[in-house]
Structure 1
Amino acid sequence: MREALIVWGGWSGHEPEQCAGIIASMLEEDGFKVRMETSTRAFADPDLAQLSLIVPIHTMSKIEKDEVANLSRAVREGVGLAGYHGGMGDAFREAVEYQFMCGGQWVAHPGNIIDYRVNVTRPDDPIMQDIQDFDYRSEQYYMHVDPSNEVLATTTFSGEHAPWIEGVVMPVVWKRHHGQGRVFYSSLGHVAKEFEVPEMRTILRRGMLWAAR
């Protein structure tokens, strides 16, 4: 049986405990044995490389050098890494090695909770199969992103809340490789209720399955 590790904590506004429970249920439905931890010390576990998948949910937290080094090594050796929104994309602001692995880092969400549109750019990809462009209400993430990411969906900023970014097309969903490991990220999912949006839930679920070894 494949084993997944969810490490949750950090800023409570993203409802990490509730979201971790939802993701654990999703993975268990797909046949994973799931372990949940609340401390980043879990990333320093020498057996981390034996896992199939790691899901970080730790917005605005700190990670020690040995923790991020071990996590990066495990992914390079083939463990999948998958996550969403600030839990993965705004997790460890000072850890550039972590950002290098993830392929991006949160910068801003102009206007906070707003209505915006998600545009599917790779409808031929299995993760996005049968998903059409859709409207979404949440934080529209502006991120610094790695140009080597394989982008599956984007959003375009209107400039209403930050005029200097009018027309900017920003990746929302991407996948990449880090060594032998697969990495998946979606910027959707500010709070637990957003898992009720079918597109958000389906994209994340498929992305985790794609990343998992």
Structure 2
Amino acid sequence: MTALRKALVVRGGWDGHRPVEATDLFVPFLKGQGFDVRIEESNEVYADEEAMGATDLVVQSVTMSQISREALVGLRAAVERGTGLAGWHGGIADSYRNESDYLQLIGGQFATHPSKHPDQRAGDETDNFLTHTVELTDLGRSHDIMAGIEGFTLRTEQYWVLHDDLNDVLATTTHPVQPYHPWHRPITSPVVWTRLWGAGRVFVATPGHSLDVLRDPNVRTIIERGMLWASRTA
């Protein structure tokens, strides 16, 4: 009998991203794909070398928050040895802001989400909900994660991401120039990327601020495929 692959869901941090409800959306999918799913509410599990060595995929949803040195070292070591790491939005791209070693592992850090015109702001989270287009890159159009998906439009936070060239970017979005913002030319940010780290794979998708965005058919399909792509391959 083939042993089940093991997925570790780590969730917590800022409650605004609904880490429990968001990850619960994907647990049935993982189980249906043959994963034995373990859920932890603390990232200290990363410091458990035996547990991490037996984990094929980590799905992280921990916005901001902090991580101990031991846990961070454990996470990096596990990925380097082949454990996959996947996540969406602030749960992976805005985690542990003070830890440069984590940022290097992920390859991208949330910087901001530009807002509406000042006259249109209501003083709540919808001030940052902009209609924007997700465009596939040439690489994305040939990648299994994006198969059958065309460019699509979302109305939600449009992440501005600081990133490096080790990422394989599958989709992007462009922040236009606006008279009420201080930048002077359009800025293109990655929306979906993969990253190889030692024997491991990292997958990041920046949409996912709210449950309705995660339920969007394009977003959900990309995340589901991204988790499978990131999972240990050997």
TM-score computed with the length of structure 2 as normaliser:
0.88
Deviations along 1:82-104, one digit per CA (max 9) or x if unpaired, are 11100000011011111111111
Per-residue deviation, 1:162: 2.6
Paired amino acid for 2:209: H
Per-residue deviation, 1:165: 5.5
Residues 1:143 and 2:161 are matched in the alignment: yes
Paired amino acid for 2:26: I
Q: How does 1:1-213 map to 2 (within 5 A)?
A: 1-47=4-50, 48-111=52-115, 112-121=128-137, 122-160=140-178, 162-164=181-183, 166-213=185-232
Q: Paired residue for 2:122?
A: none
The runs of 5 or more residues in structure 1 that have no matched partner are none
Q: Distance in 2 between matches of 1:165 and 1:70?
A: 41
Contact 1:82–1:207 (8 Å) recurs in 2: yes
RMSD, aligned CA: 1.1
Match of 2:103, SS state, is helix
Match of 2:149, SS state, is coil
Paired amino acid for 2:141: P
Q: Distance in 2 between matches of 1:67 and 1:194?
A: 30
Contact 2:207–2:214 (8 Å) recurs in 1: no
The alignment of Structure 1 onto Structure 2 pairs a total of residues equal to 213
Match of 1:164, SS state, is coil
Contact 1:157–1:165 (8 Å) recurs in 2: no
Contact 1:49–1:75 (8 Å) recurs in 2: no
The runs of 5 or more residues in structure 2 that have no matched partner are 116-127
Per-residue deviation, 1:105: 0.7
Deviations along 1:67-118, one digit per CA (max 9) or x if unpaired, are 0000100000000001110000001101111111111111100111111000
Q: Distance in 1 between matches of 2:229 and 2:181?
A: 35
Match of 2:58, SS state, is strand
Per-residue deviation, 1:159: 2.4
Paired amino acid for 1:200: V
Match of 2:73, SS state, is helix
Change in Cα spacing, 1:165 to 1:145, as seen in structure 2 (3 Å) is farther
Change in Cα spacing, 1:91 to 1:165, as seen in structure 2 (3 Å) is farther
- After TM superposition, the structure 1 stretch with the greater mean CA deviation from structure 2, 15-24 or 157-166, is 157-166
Question: Runs ≥4 in structure 1, deviation > 4 angstroms?
Answer: none
